[in-house]
Chains A and B, each alone.
Chain A
């Protein structure tokens, strides 16, 4: 690698080298830096827990397991005892799990099975519900999400792989592993226009106010040095299509009234409620999918970072715009994010995108919490 770099530089005129060096120094000064922390640079024994974040993976290729799922599997296999894979919703396109006997049932199962199989033995798997999992936002949604929960349990065959929050409940559901507290939310519950509970629901929270109050409590776990990440399918901020970008109609989609978009009133109510719950104890990151891109964003006052990792299906990747809040954006690339919670102190984010470039799949790294 070093040799090839040197030979390349020799062919560049001095003026261009100076210009590049100047621009490079400018960019480093500007705050991002260019150094990517590779997998080899962190000793495995320094890592306490590794969280893999992949969203909108419900459209796997029916012919082969390709990137990014196979790459994620390989990385998680390296240390299964400390790895958690979180599927950030939209686990089954286009309409979640249908009733058994429907023509689409077998294919829906195939889509879910590809993801459950990507979780190596010994690795904990968490599936979050997305809008497509709620029967693509239709009246069958509550029943479809229950069917998905049952199917995941069946496919897991006793392994620690499950859909949370379960039973169509909104959450929050905390998962504590060492320093890490991961809080799962079902954000589609907030946006669904049809039935969200029935006589068999046993949800501890059944109103928006109760969910917000519970979340406010959960983001402040006991203990020193805790790392809190909150996960839901819908992002709190995005430069993608659901954020009103990427198209002539983008800024005006609010008039269409889709609650799936950032500019809609229902979506804003949900985001404001979630953010208000973070006010006293901002979590280190809110992680989501929904937009089929990879984005690392500055969260603002109530949350330090917002991560959008919805590029789990290579055939569904989309456009994303770099905003003022963006640290990193890539569009039309599949991939996933990896968050390493270090022992003692330090949280490292790495973004892997596919197809990989000549420099590899690692596209971006950032210390979310300095060591």
Chain B
């Protein structure tokens, strides 16, 4: 519960860090259009045996509301992940982002694609376990790097992003694992359809809570939210359902 409160505090403090920005001229900002901004964040993968590599599959749904523009965004995506020796994970994502109440006659949505590597740096937990009084508590700290691409976000605009983050999570309880997580990071975005070299850089924080090993050993359900500290990009939140195939 302490961990959950800390994460909630970080989330509530995030809007205070926003600086006043000029409104986005595009219906969808480039950093909102790729997987890092469109689909909800997830915690680092649950540790698994070092004997095997694991295939995982996920379905994600996210919304981005409270934006400056009149249109809220929604996105659905599917992905496949490869967990190496029970630790670090490499994943590919494909999906679609749309605009609610879209008034334009042109396209109201676009495809999005992404690749992500998530590397476990530390997996342990006795210190946190003793603090929260749960012997099974696991603390995981890692790094992640993601690449995103979304074609035809707006006429003449393809969105490209690179992001880096430092995911941190605490998982508790023996049977169904309750995991709280936070991922602060930085995203660089650019209109990669143009010959421009200028890019934007924004900080972000993703956070959420999830249930691991729900009903079956490989099934996880996570609820995540994210703030990008740039302009009025609003709050993104959503659900991720993932399944890892155990041998």
| B9 in contact (CB, < 8 A) | no
Task: Specify which chain A residues have a CB less than 8 angstroms from the CB of B215 in the assembled complex.
Answer: 29-31
Question: Which one of B59-67, B120-128, B159-167, B194-202 contacts A?
Answer: B120-128
CA distance A263 to B125 in the complex (A): 20
| B107 in contact (CB, < 8 A) | no
Name the residue on A nearest B124 (C-beta).
A246
CA distance A247 to B141 in the complex (A): 11
Taking the closest CB of chain B, its distance from the CB of A300, in whole angstroms, is 5
Taking the closest CB of chain A, its distance from the CB of B219, in whole angstroms, is 9
Give A309-349 interface residues, CB cut-off 8 Å to B.
319, 321-325, 328-333
| A244 in contact (CB, < 8 A) | yes
Determine whether the beta carbon of A321 is less than 8 Å from that of B177.
Answer: no
User: Chain A 233-262 against B: per-residue CB contact (8 Å), 1 yes, 0 no?
Assistant: 000110100011111101100000000001
Give A100-139 interface residues, CB cut-off 8 Å to B.
none
Q: Which of A29, A271, A319 is B124 in contact with, Cβ under 8 Å?
A: A319
Taking the closest CB of chain A, its distance from the CB of B13, in whole angstroms, is 27
Contact A322 to B171, CB < 8 A, known contacts A329-B136, A333-B135: yes
| B152 in contact (CB, < 8 A) | no
Number of residues of chain B lying within 8 A (CB) of chain A: 39
Determine whether the beta carbon of B214 is less than 8 Å from that of A30.
Answer: yes
Determine whether the beta carbon of A331 is less than 8 Å from that of B244.
Answer: no
Task: Specify which chain B residues have a CB less than 8 angstroms from the CB of A78 in the assembled complex.
Answer: none
CA distance A301 to B124 in the complex (A): 27
| B129 in contact (CB, < 8 A) | yes
User: Chain B 232-247 against A: per-residue CB contact (8 Å), 1 yes, 0 no?
Assistant: 0000000000001011
Task: Specify which chain B residues have a CB less than 8 angstroms from the CB of A356 in the assembled complex.
Answer: none
Determine whether the beta carbon of B218 is less than 8 Å from that of A324.
Answer: yes
Determine whether the beta carbon of A322 is less than 8 Å from that of B136.
Answer: yes
Determine whether the beta carbon of A32 is less than 8 Å from that of B175.
Answer: yes
CA distance A246 to B138 in the complex (A): 9
Question: Which one of B19-27, B45-53, B70-78, B182-190 contacts A?
Answer: B45-53
Give B123-178 interface residues, CB cut-off 8 Å to A.
123-126, 129-130, 135-136, 138, 171, 173-177
Taking the closest CB of chain B, its distance from the CB of A47, in whole angstroms, is 26
Q: Which of A246, A262, A330, A333 is B51 in contact with, Cβ under 8 Å?
A: A262
Taking the closest CB of chain B, its distance from the CB of A260, in whole angstroms, is 13
| A65 in contact (CB, < 8 A) | no
Determine whether the beta carbon of B87 is less than 8 Å from that of A319.
Answer: no
Determine whether the beta carbon of B136 is less than 8 Å from that of A246.
Answer: no
User: Chain B 203-229 against A: per-residue CB contact (8 Å), 1 yes, 0 no?
Assistant: 000000000011111100000000000
Task: Specify which chain A residues have a CB less than 8 angstroms from the CB of B52 in the assembled complex.
Answer: 300
Determine whether the beta carbon of A323 is less than 8 Å from that of B47.
Answer: yes
| B86 in contact (CB, < 8 A) | yes
Taking the closest CB of chain B, its distance from the CB of A131, in whole angstroms, is 18
Determine whether the beta carbon of A319 is less than 8 Å from that of B244.
Answer: no
Task: Specify which chain B residues have a CB less than 8 angstroms from the CB of A297 in the assembled complex.
Answer: 49
Determine whether the beta carbon of B49 is less than 8 Å from that of A325.
Answer: yes
Determine whether the beta carbon of A324 is less than 8 Å from that of B47.
Answer: yes
Task: Specify which chain B residues have a CB less than 8 angstroms from the CB of A251 in the assembled complex.
Answer: 85, 87-88, 120
| A26 in contact (CB, < 8 A) | yes
Q: Which of B48, B121, B124, B174 is A324 in contact with, Cβ under 8 Å?
A: B48
Name the residue on B nearest A248 (C-beta).
B122
CA distance A176 to B88 in the complex (A): 43
Determine whether the beta carbon of B213 is less than 8 Å from that of A321.
Answer: no
Rank and list the top 6 A-B pairs by shortest CB-CB distance, nearest first: A32-B175, A324-B48, A27-B175, A246-B124, A319-B126, A30-B176
